[in-house]
Amino acid sequence: MSIFIIMPKLMSSFHSFVPKSSIPLLECWIAELDLDVRISKPRRSKLGDFKVVKNRMVVTINNNLNTYSFLITIVHELAHAFVFREYGNSVPPHGNNWKAIYKSMMLNFLSPTFFPKDILKVLSGHMVLPKASTYSDIELVKVLKKYDDTILLTISDIQVGELFKLSNGRSFIKGVRLRKRFRCIEEQTNKVYLFHPFSEVIRG
């Protein structure tokens, strides 16, 4: 997997992924934490992550995120780094310590200087009780996707009963929505799977 490493003293490649107005504060936090930010190829299971590699803190962010998703994700992961620096592994990853730090960091960006009004409205509500993943907040995902460069087909775009495929070739029949996810049946095995409303699919 190709990865570009961005060190705290060399941030030029990083600038193109976030709103210009957010760069000074992000640079300040990254320098304070003395960590590496790595830009990764897209991963289906996560938008970004935080880990410690050989005693060095590392944040990775997917390179296919739009500007606003990238900003939210990098702040989310930097909050993990601040929690780790203070508490190590002694507190839950998305517990009260992380929520408090993440909220305090995001408050710096809750203005039209950084986000369009439609995102800002939903994001402000999201920050009242931050979730472990942005994708857990359906309304936030929905408004963020409006700013993607490429509009991809998602399971929400097809009809109940319609056949669809995943990128790996597996076929499913879309079922009804159960609370936050769609109940779908794999065509070959008849097994039931639950899909996030914004799971990317291919028409069958």
Task: Please indicate, yes or no, whether residues 182 and 88 belong to a single structural domain of this protein.
Answer: no
pLDDT tens readout for residues 129-138: 898 888 888 8
Task: Please indicate, yes or no, whether residues 83 and 184 belong to a single structural domain of this protein.
Answer: no
Task: Please indicate, yes or no, whether residues 36 and 132 belong to a single structural domain of this protein.
Answer: yes
pLDDT tens readout for residues 60-82: 999 999 999 999 999 999 999 99
Domain C-terminal end among 145, 169, 194: 145
Q: What is the number of structural domains in the chain?
A: 2
Contact (CB, 8 A) for 8 and 35? yes
pLDDT of residue 175: 94
pLDDT tens readout for residues 20-44: 999 999 999 999 999 999 998 888 7
Task: Please indicate, yes or no, whether residues 103 and 8 belong to a single structural domain of this protein.
Answer: yes
Q: How far apart are CA 107 and CA 160, in angstroms?
A: 40
Residue pointed to by tokens 């460069």? 149
Cβ-Cβ contacts under 8 Å for 21 (sequence gap 6 or more): 113, 114
Judge whether residue 93 has pLDDT over 60.
yes
Residue 150 lies in a domain: no
Residue 159 lies in a domain: yes
115 φ, ψ (degrees, to nearest 5): -135, 145
pTM of the full structure? 0.81
Domain C-terminal end among 145, 167, 194: 145
Task: Please indicate, yes or no, whether residues 163 and 141 belong to a single structural domain of this protein.
Answer: no
Cβ-Cβ contacts under 8 Å for 116 (sequence gap 6 or more): 68, 147
What is the rounded (10 degree) CA torsion for 134, 135, 138, 143? 60
Tokens coding 30: 């990254």
Nearest CA to 25 out of 131, 108, 96, 148 is that of 108
Domain span at 102: 4-145
Residue 102 lies in a domain: yes
Task: Please indicate, yes or no, whether residues 126 and 176 belong to a single structural domain of this protein.
Answer: no
Task: Please indicate, yes or no, whether residues 80 and 107 belong to a single structural domain of this protein.
Answer: yes
Task: Please indicate, yes or no, whether residues 130 and 164 belong to a single structural domain of this protein.
Answer: no
Task: Please indicate, yes or no, whether residues 33 and 122 belong to a single structural domain of this protein.
Answer: yes
- What is the chain's percent helix, strand, coil content, to nearest 5? 40, 25, 40
